[in-house]
Amino acid sequence: MRRVLAMVFLAGAMASPLEAATPWRSYAGAQARYWAFSNQNDLRDVLAYWVPGPFHVQLEYWDFVDRETDDQFRPELGLHLRDARRSVYTLQWRHERLQERYWLMTDQVLGARVVARAEVSPIVGRDSTVWVWAVGADYYWASYDFLQATLIHDPRGVDRDLWVVPIRLRLATERNDWVQATFAPASRGTAGWALDAKARWLRLGVEHNNRYDFTTLDNTIYTVGLEVPLSRPE
Mean pLDDT of 60-68: 94
Global pTM reads 0.86
* Count of positions (residues) in the chain: 234
Number of domains in the chain: 1
- Residue 94's identity, in one-letter code, is R
234 in any annotated domain: no
83 in any annotated domain: yes
192 in any annotated domain: yes
Residues 118/106, Cβ–Cβ less than 8 Å = yes
pLDDT tens, 128-173?
Answer: 999 999 999 999 998 889 999 999 999 886 667 889 999 999 999 9
146 in any annotated domain: yes
Q: Give the range of the structural domain holding residue 83, as residue numbers without chain letter.
A: 2-229
Signed CA dihedral, 139, 107, 28, 223: sign only: positive
216 in any annotated domain: yes
29 in any annotated domain: yes
Q: Is the pLDDT confidence value at 110 over 70?
A: yes
Buried b (16+ CB within 10 A) or exposed e, 3-41: eebeebbeebeeeeebeeeeebeebbbbbebebebeeee
Give the C-alpha separation, 105 to 36, whole Å: 30
Read off the CATH number of the domain in which 84 is found.
Answer: 2.40.160.40
